[in-house]
Amino acid sequence: MCSSSLRPVLAGLLMLLAAATAQARELRVCSDPNNLPFSNEREEGFENRIVELLAKDLGATVSYTWWAQRRGFLRNTLLARECDLVAGLPSAAEMVKVTPPYYRSSYVFVTRPDRPEIISLDDPALRHLKIGLQLVGDDGANTPPAHALARRGIVGNVRGYTLYGDYSQPNPPARIVDAVGQGEIDVAIVWGPTAGYFAARQTPPLRVRPVQPEVDGPILPMRFDISMGVRKEDLELWHEIAGALHRHRAEIGAILAAYGVPGAALVPEAAEP
């Protein structure tokens, strides 16, 4: 076959390829580029791995819009239509339509292995130890453990570490775990996934124990369910994501375990949405 007779065939193949490319599905996700163990721009976090698992189930490829996950994150990303899905949201989030939770974790105590073990907010040792707490936002808003300690009058020996940290450094939320390993503080109360991942990377590895009680007083929980979120009107995508989360419960559990998420109990299995 001469080269001139090949041209129509090649042109047809190129047209078919272009049509297939145009029809390829894209799962648009907004995520933090510098927040291990959850996500980073090299897609090394457990949320990155879970999203990739869901995309494969849906026959889609993942495309990311990167945005620091701090105040205004949802407003500037999902709600601004920069993406269609956000992972790792509290199941109680109200600005979006959340999926059924796909894992739950808790705040934990982080201590060095050569120090006394702390497992309870009522441990008398907390009154004289140097305690590190995560604070949320530039205004230092309090996390549940901070409220719980304040309710017990434990304030003078507490040091705050902003959850946002120095964003020019890798994984700024890890700073509070580093502070335990370096002896700057005696114990830290940290959100479980952050603690479990970075405590295991200290030398020697740090001890991680879930905070007790799980609910302090009548209404202050230390354990939270985690979901994914879409815009409230995106009901079809919600059903697809919720169904994929349900179908891949076992794989998601294995991913969470690999990243050392403490107390990463999958929520009780329910019927597929």
Q: Judge whether residue 9 has pLDDT over 80.
A: no
Question: What confidence score (pLDDT) does residue 174 get?
Answer: 94
Average the pLDDT over 190-198 and give the result: 96
Average the pLDDT over 8-22 and give the result: 48
> Which residues, 6+ apart, have CB-to-CB distance to 106 below 8 Å?
192, 210, 211, 214, 222, 223, 224, 262, 263
In this structure, are strands 158-162 and 103-111 parallel, antiparallel, or unpaired? unpaired
8 A C-beta contact, residue 194 and residue 167: no
8 A C-beta contact, residue 109 and residue 211: yes
Question: What confidence score (pLDDT) does residue 81 get?
Answer: 97
Q: How far is CA 192 from CA 147, 210, 251, in A?
A: 17, 8, 20
pTM of the model: 0.86
Q: Judge whether residue 202 has pLDDT over 60.
A: yes
Task: Label residue 2 by pLDDT band (50, 70, 90).
Answer: very low
Question: What confidence score (pLDDT) does residue 21 get?
Answer: 45
- Tens of pLDDT, residues 85-131: 999 999 999 999 999 999 999 999 999 999 999 999 999 999 999 99
Residue 13: φ, ψ to 5°: -65, -40
- Of 36-40, 81-85, 134-138, the least confident: 134-138
- Tens of pLDDT, residues 47-67: 999 999 999 999 999 999 999
